[in-house]
Amino acid sequence: MTAPDSGSATITQEKATVGHKRLQIPAIYFALTLLVVLVILFTLGNQNFLSAYNLNTIGNYAAILSVVALGQMNTILIGGIDLSVGGLMSFTSVLFVVLLQLIGVWAFPICILVALAVGYVNGAILTRIKIPSFIATLGTGGILTSLALLVSPLPVVAPGSKYGLLDLVNGNLLGIPNLLLLALAAFVLFYVTLRFTKIGRNIYYVGSNIKMSWMSGIDIVGTRNFAFVLSGFGAGLAAIMLSCNQFGGDPTLGNVYILQSIAAVVVGGTALTGGTGGAVNTIIGALILAVMENGMNVVGVDAYFQQSILGLVIIISVALTFDRTKTAMIK
Amino acid sequence: MSAAVLELQRITKRYPGVVALDGVDFTVYENEILGLVGENGAGKSTLMKILIGLIQPDQGTYRLRGAPVVIKNPAHAANLGVGMVFQEGCLVPNLSIMENLFLCHEIGFRHFGFLSKRKMRDAAHAALGTVKVAADLDTPVSETTPAVRQMIEIARLLWLSKLYQQRNPVLILDEPTTVLTDDERNTLFSIATELKSQASIILISHRLQEIVETSDRILIMKDGKRVANIQARHAGIPEIEQMMVGHAFAADRFREDEQIPPGDQVTLTLENVSKRGVFEPLNFEVRQGEIISLVGLVGSGKEALCRCIAGLEKPDTGSIKLAGKRLTPGSPSEAVRAGIGHIPIDRRSDGLALGMTIAENVNLLVLDHLKVGGFISPQREKKNALRWIQDCRIKAPSPSTMCVNLSGGNQQKTVIAKWLSSKIHLLVLDHPTRGVDVGAKDEIYRLIRQLARTGVGMIIMCDTLEEDIGLCGRMLIMKDGQLVNEVNCPPYRKPSPSDIISSIV
C-alpha cells in the first residue's frame, strides 16, 4: 500500500456528508421565523400590539419567564427536566415577602440562597439517590407547594414601608426598566457560563453523551448538580422579580411557570433529549411565548382556543429538535 | 450445478457519505454452503440485512426461487425460508427452549382452543433432532450454552420453513464460531454439512481456515463490491486474504518498519490485579512506547481487564500504577487525570458526543489550556481543533462539522485526536479499527505508531489476530481469566497466527 502523501490538505468539501437532516436545520431559525411571523400577524390584527404600553406588558412577562426558562434550560440540556420550578417560585415568593417585613434587604440574598439549595437538593436526588429528575422534581415541587401554603395560605401584600426596596426591581436605570436589565443580566450570565466556561461545556457533553462523559473523566455528578442549582437560581430570581412587580407574594403564583418555562426552552430549539440548544434559543422561546400569550388576547383569539394553539407550537418545536436516536422507544 | 434458490442482482445501498453496497450480484444455489468473507465494512452485514428484510436496497432485484420478492421484515423472510442466526443470538432468554422454538407460531398446536403441550413436545423433539440437540425442552434458554442457542435458532428456522412449505431454506450463520469451543465448532460444521441435503447455508466468518474447509463456494467482498466468486477447493488462504484487503500481505500493512523498541521507563504496572469470576490475579508491565496486545477469546477476561485499567471497573485485588503512582481503582476521572486514555469499541455510543462538533469533541480534555483570562477562547479552541484535524487527517468540511455527519473512520480519528491532544501516558485501544475502511485503517495504524514514538504505552485489542501480531511488540495471551502466554512480536520476525492460536483456545 502506498503511503498517503503527507502534505495533502485534509479539510475538503468532498466528504460533506448529509447525516441526520433534522440536525442540519438549526431549530433556532424556526424559532426566529415564528417570532417574526407572530409579531407581524398580531400587528396586522391590532395596531396597538406594538404600542409602548403593550410592549411594556409583553416585556415584563417575557423578562420573568425568560429568567425561569434560562434556569430550566440547564436541566433540559443535561437531558433532565425540572418540574419543581413552580413550587419553588411559589415558596420563594411568599418567603420573600415575609422576610422583607422581618429583615428588609436581606430577603433578597437569603431567598436566592434558599433557591440555590433547593436546586442542589434536586440535583442530589437525581445523582445520589439515582431516580429520574422527572420524578425527583415532581416530588420536591409538591413539597415546595405545601411549604409555600404553610408559610402563607393566602397572598401576602408587601409592607408599604418597604416599597423602596421593591424599586430594585420596579425602578428604572437610564429609562430602561430594571426588570428588563435583570433579565438581560441573567441572560449574559447563562450565556457566558454555557459558552465560555468548562462547567458550562460539561453540561453539553453530559447531555449529549453521559457515558462518554463519564469515560472521559468529566465529573458527571457535579455537572448535573450544577445544572439543577442553576435552575433553582432562575426560579428563585424570577419569583423575586415577580413578587416585587406585583407588590406581594402568592403561594400559587408559580404553577403556570412549570409548563411555560419548559415550553419556552423547547420552542426556542433546545432539544428535550439534551445536548443541543442554549441561552439565545431560550430568550427567543420566552419571547415567543410572551408574544403569543399577549397577542392572542390583543387580537381577540377566543380564550378557550388559545391553549390549543400553544400546544400545537410546542409539539412542532419538539418534533423538530427531538433526537430520536437517543431513545430506543418513545414512551 | 443445482438451481439458484436466491438471487440478488445489482444491489446498491447508499448511506450518507458511503456506498455500502455497489451493484452487488449475489446468488445462492440449492444444497450448498456459501462462504462469505470480507473485511469489516466490506458490506457483508448490509447484504445480509437486505437478505432478511431488515433494510431495503436502494436499487436492484431480489428473486427467491425464481420469483421477484420484496422482503418486508425478518419475520416475512423467515416465512419465505430465509433466516439468520445472529452473533449475539435473538432468543428470549427467560422462555424455555420449546417456547422459543415455536414463539409466535403456537397457533398450529391448538387442541380444542388450548395449546397442546404434547403436540408441541413432539414437534420440538423432531425439530431439535435435525440439529442433534438433546436438551430438556423446559430449560430456560438463558441457562443453555451459546452452542445450544445457535442450534435452537437453526432448528427454529428449519421448522418454520417446513411450516410454510418452503423448499430448500437459506440459513445465514453470522460469525457462528466466535462464541464456540473447538468441539462445538466441529459439531456445528458437521451438522451444517448434513443440512446441505435440505438447505443452503451462508457462512460468514473471519476465520478463513474454517471457511475454506467448510464451504463449497466462497464470495469475497471488498468496499461494497463483490470482488471474487471462487470454488472453495481451488482457494488458498493467502489469495483470499489478498483479495479481501486489495493488496498483498507482504507489503508493510501494519507499518512494521515504524515499530520501535520499548523505552526503559515503565509506564504501567499491574500487581496482583484480579476480578472475582472474571480474571485471576495477574502481573505485567507496559513500558514507554510499547504496544502490548491482549489476545483471548470471549470470556478470557481481557475486556474486563482493560476496563479496570481505564478505571471503568473496580478490580477486587491488586494495584494499578502509572509511572509508579498508584491509581484509585474504579475512577475514570482519576485515570484520565493521571494520563490514561481509552478508545472504546463502540465509538458512537461511548466515544463521541455525536450531536456536538469535531472541535468540541477534540477539545474535551484540554479545555483548561484553551482559556484566556479564565474563559474558553473560541479562537484558541478552533486553532487547536484544526491542528488535530490536520494531524489526524480527519476529513471534514470544518471543525464545526457535527460528528454525527462523519464516516466511521473519521469518527474514530476524532476519538483518537481527543486523546492525542491531551498529554496521555497510556492508551487502551479497544478494537480501534472496527468498522472502518481500509484507508482509515492505515491512518489509524499510522497514528498508533506516532503515539508510540512520543512515548505513549498502549494496550490494544484488535479485530483480527493478524492485526494484533502486526501492531504489537509483545503479545499477552489470556485464557479463562489467566495470563497463559507471552509472545514477542519484533518487527519482521513476527510469529504466525497459527503459532499463537493454540494457546488461545
Of B356, B368, B389, the CB nearest to A198: B368
Top pLDDT among A329 and B138 is at B138
**DSSP conformation letters of B79-136:** HTTEEEE-SS--S-TTSBHHHHHTTT-GGGGEETTEE-HHHHHHHHHHHHHHTT----
pLDDT tens for residues B170-203? 999 988 877 777 788 888 898 889 888 889 999 9
Domain ranges (residues) in chain B: 4-245, 252-339+424-505
Q: CATH for B252-339+424-505?
A: 3.40.50.300
Please indicate whether the domains covering B4-245 and B252-339+424-505 agree at the CATH topology level.
yes
As a whole number, mean pLDDT of residues A178-183 equals 92
Element (H, E) at B8: strand B4-15
Show Cβ contacts of residue A222 under 8 Å, excluding neighbours closer than 6 positions: A199
B333 neighbourhood in chain A, CB within 8 Å: 217-219
Question: In this predicted structure, what is the pLDDT of residue A3?
Answer: 38
Q: Is B308 on the interface with A (CB under 8 A)?
A: no
Show the CA angle centred on residue B180, arms to residues B480 and B435, nearest 5°: 95
Tally of CA atoms within 13 A in the half-sphere of B171 that contains its CB: 30
Q: Is B354 on the interface with A (CB under 8 A)?
A: yes
Cα separation of A281 and A271, whole Å?
10
**Own/partner long-range contacts of A306-312 (Cβ < 8 Å, ≥24 apart):** A310/A263
Q: Looking at this protein, which amino acid is placed at residue B381?
A: E
Question: In this predicted structure, what is the pLDDT of residue B143?
Answer: 84
Show Cβ contacts of residue B67 under 8 Å, excluding neighbours closer than 6 positions: none
CB B360 to CB A215 under 8 A? no
pLDDT tens for residues B311-367? 999 999 999 999 888 989 889 999 999 999 999 988 888 899 988 999 999 999 999
As a whole number, mean pLDDT of residues A190-209 equals 94
- Residues of B (370-429) whose Cβ lies below 8 Å from A: 371, 375-376, 386, 389-390, 393-398, 402, 404-407, 410, 418
Question: In this predicted structure, what is the pLDDT of residue B41?
Answer: 67
Fold type of domain B4-245: Rossmann fold (3.40.50)
Q: Which CATH class name applies to A57-321?
A: mainly alpha
Pairing of strands B291-295, B457-461: parallel
CB A215 to CB B442 under 8 A? no
pLDDT tens for residues A280-290? 999 999 999 99
ipTM of the complex: 0.83
Cα separation of B30 and B140, whole Å?
34
DSSP type of residue B272: E
B247 neighbourhood in chain A, CB within 8 Å: 1
Show the CA angle centred on residue B56, arms to residues B52 and B59, nearest 5°: 125
| Cβ count within 10 A of residue B257 | 9
Sort A159 into a burial class: Cβ within 10 Å, 0-12 / 13-18 / 19+: middle
Cα separation of B144 and B151, whole Å?
11
pLDDT tens for residues B143-166? 888 788 888 888 888 888 888 888
Asked if B319 contacts B326 with a C-beta cutoff of 8 angstroms, the reply is yes
B351 neighbourhood in chain A, CB within 8 Å: 212, 215
Q: Is A212 on the interface with B (CB under 8 A)?
A: yes
pLDDT tens for residues B446-499? 899 999 999 999 999 987 888 888 899 999 998 888 888 889 888 888 888 777
Domain ranges (residues) in chain A: 57-321
| Cβ count within 10 A of residue B334 | 15
Question: In this predicted structure, what is the pLDDT of residue A206?
Answer: 95
Residue burial B475-490, b: 16+ Cβ < 10 Å; e: rest = bbbbbebebeeebebe
**B435 pLDDT more than 90:** no
Question: In this predicted structure, what is the pLDDT of residue B260?
Answer: 86
| Cβ count within 10 A of residue B397 | 15
Give, rounded to a whole angstrom, the gap between the first and last alpha carbons of chain B: 38
* Four-residue CA torsion sign, B402, B403, B407, B409: positive
- Residues of A (305-324) whose Cβ lies below 8 Å from B: 323
Please report, rounded to a whole number, the percentage of residues in chain B having pLDDT higher than 90. 30
- For residue B321, list its beta bridge partners: B269, B326
Top pLDDT among B298 and A75 is at A75
**B132 pLDDT more than 70:** yes
B364 neighbourhood in chain A, CB within 8 Å: 205, 216, 218
Top pLDDT among A75 and B481 is at A75
Sort B424 into a burial class: Cβ within 10 Å, 0-12 / 13-18 / 19+: buried
* Four-residue CA torsion sign, B435, B17, B396, A274: negative
Question: Which of A11, A21, A203, A323 would best serve as a mutation to test chain B binding (most B beta carbons within 10 A)?
Answer: A11
For residue B410, give the nearest of B375, B471, B358 by alpha carbon.
Answer: B358
Cα separation of B13 and B11, whole Å?
7
Q: Is A331 on the interface with B (CB under 8 A)?
A: no
pLDDT tens for residues B68-120? 999 998 889 988 889 898 766 678 888 888 888 888 788 778 777 787 888 88
Show Cβ contacts of residue B85 under 8 Å, excluding neighbours closer than 6 positions: B150, B153, B154, B157, B171, B172, B173, B174, B176
Confidence of residue B40 (pLDDT cuts 50, 70, 90): low
Question: In this predicted structure, what is the pLDDT of residue B347?
Answer: 84
Question: In this predicted structure, what is the pLDDT of residue B358?
Answer: 93
Asked if B200 contacts B29 with a C-beta cutoff of 8 angstroms, the reply is yes
Top pLDDT among B208 and A329 is at B208
- Residues of A (267-306) whose Cβ lies below 8 Å from B: 271, 275-276
Question: In this predicted structure, what is the pLDDT of residue A11?
Answer: 34
Cell, residue A62: 417575557
A218 neighbourhood in chain B, CB within 8 Å: 333, 364
CB A19 to CB B17 under 8 A? yes
